[in-house]
Structure 1
Amino acid sequence: MKKIIVPVDFSKHSEDALKTAAFIAKKQNAEIIAVHMLELSNAIISQSESYSQQEAVFYLKLAEKKFIEFLNKEYLKEIKVTPIIKHYKIFSELNALAKEENAELIVMGSHGIGGLKEIFVGSNTEKVVRNSSVPVLVTKDTPILSNLENAVFACDFTNEDIKPYQEAKKLLSKLGCKLHLLHVNTPYGRFKSTKETQKKVVNFLTKANETLETLHQVQHISDYTVESGILEYANQHNMDLIVIATHGRKGLSHFFEGSISEDIANHANLPVMTFKI
């Protein structure tokens, strides 16, 4: 891993993300690209051109000063940090920047007392997740300052799940984190017999170029809802991370349609990492 992007808004949550990125960067000898999205008000934009330009420059200089002060942290001393200020809050720009810089990860902090609630209801984090073709790691309440050892990737074992699974496994292996595949069987809608489930899993793992050993490691759990099954498994097995596949702008993965991802995000006491299908 060479580059990690961290959006910064000077809040505690963005500092938690910065600390997390710093921890990963030190392990991977990676560079951090810190990005501040500077939003100028319509009042400034609607003013006369010369005055508007002067005021815009003033706010830009103010943001630059605050940015430098914010990045003056002891835990960043041994890391290459590149600060970038974007002039508008267009969060799709982060994806373009990630592609331009060949970054492998975006790290963001969560907002809201309810946990990651705002991720999927219009927050900045949600906008980044939906626009990003790069994996997004969202920290929960506190920064990640110790090694991630185990992550759970729950899916319906369809062909669409193969690519995000492979990407998640590859990235997490760099972080020394083992990815556990999980299938949640519910009595409603998507219920499948053991035979049907095994057939899907075998087909999935074959196309994903996995071994027979991986087949035996796939975990199966039954619960009344997918989200409760994932959270129960994560808690019982001391998972460090929940991994979710998303469709980006088209919404969340078919497996996580409706309120499932929101419920997982709201009730999980774990960081969440997303991979685009």
Structure 2
Amino acid sequence: MSADSARPILCPTDFSAEAGHALRWGGELALRLSRPLVALYADRFLPPPHFTARQIDILVEELDQSRTVARQALVDQAGRMIAPAVATEPVVVQDLAVPAIIRLAAERNAEMIVMGSHGHSALDRIMLGSVTERVLRLADRPVLAVKLSAEKDPAAFPEIRTILCPVDLGEDARPALLLAARLATAFAAELQVLHVAEAAPDPDVERAAREALCAWVPDTARTSCRLHEVVRPGKPAEEILLAAQESHAELIVLPTRHKLFQDVTVLGATVARITRHASCAVLAVPVV
């Protein structure tokens, strides 16, 4: 087994339907990419606020029981959502969710993190769900945010026919494109490589942009899957969301440049808007 094939897909869960759907995605990715999967549940398992010294032994026993129950619930959810062919390891840790996810991803050298995004309320659309949004900001590896619409079965996995990969022709965007090409090959999907030309519609500008995009796409990506280039004029976030809707893309793969603002890492405006508003899954690939 090569070092790369041993890198797991990491799927945190809080036992919600959204997290279960993310486990379903993670299991399918692990199966198609021949990767193991680590299913993670993190909880602080805090004691009650008031207890006496004589209650300590009882408290320790109750916390141990809580961890045992959590582990069984994790095994049960993974069993429902992940194919038996996928090597799955359930992990329960006593910690806050975000630091546990970031730390375990680094310890296991996870290839990617797959998370559910709640995103139903108006507040969620303004501020992407707290745990997923913070992991997107802090992770140094790809993070897939998966959404579950109210009418969908969490155990259902969509047939991936179209993957959209928006690029700005920068060299640091190539890893996102190459990952998108790998996924397109794994799912026998069409890969649309999109470049948004931020200019008024003009045939000459669009022609030049298309030529630049075709020259930018490496031959290795072009020959590994069904790929075609798309150029659209306009504002990036708007055009990416429109392109995803019009092409019925099941997955958007895009490079993410983290920015430092007053010592806090933030997502770029385009990435944040796409992740919050896209109706399909979004895989953010950090530029390192």
Calculate the TM-score normalised by the size of structure 1: 0.77
| C-alpha displacement of 1:202 | 5.6
1:6-55 deviations in Å (ceiling 9; x for gaps): 101111111111222233334445432111111245975x9889967864
Q: Would the alpha carbon gap of residues 276 and 151 (structure 1) be closer, same or farther in structure 2, given more than 3 Å must change?
A: same
Q: Equivalent residue for 1:24?
A: 29
Name whichever of 106-115 and 165-174 sits farther off.
Answer: 165-174
After superposition, residues 184-203 of structure 1 pair within 5 angstroms as 184-187=196-199, 193-194=205-206, 197-198=209-210, 200-201=212-213
Q: Equivalent residue for 1:229?
A: 239
Identify unmatched segments of 5+ residues in structure 1.
Answer: none
Q: Does 1:135 align with 2:142?
A: yes
Alignment partner of 1:62 out of 60, 63, 66 = 66
Look up the SS of the partner of 1:113 in the other structure.
Answer: coil
After superposition, residues 178-189 of structure 1 pair within 5 angstroms as 178-187=190-199
% same residue: 20
Contact 1:106 1:137 in 2 (8 A): yes
Calculate the TM-score normalised by the size of structure 2: 0.74
Q: Does 1:152 align with 2:164?
A: yes
Whole-Å separation in 2 of the counterparts to 1:237 and 1:54: 58
Look up the SS of the partner of 1:36 in the other structure.
Answer: strand
Whole-Å separation in 2 of the counterparts to 1:29 and 1:210: 20
The CA RMSD over aligned residues, in Å, is 3.7
Look up the SS of the partner of 1:274 in the other structure.
Answer: strand
After superposition, residues 1-277 of structure 1 pair within 5 angstroms as 2=6, 3-41=8-46, 55=59, 58-72=62-76, 73-76=79-82, 78=84, 79-89=86-96, 91-114=98-121, 117=124, 121=128, 123-141=130-148, 142=152, 143=154, 145-187=157-199, 193-194=205-206, 197-198=209-210, 200-201=212-213, 204-205=216-217, 217-223=228-234, 225-248=235-258, 250=260, 257-258=268-269, 260-277=270-287
- How many corresponding residue pairs? 266
Whole-Å separation in 1 of the counterparts to 2:83 and 2:59: 33
Q: Would the alpha carbon gap of residues 167 and 58 (structure 1) be closer, same or farther in structure 2, given more than 3 Å must change?
A: same
Contact 1:242 1:270 in 2 (8 A): yes
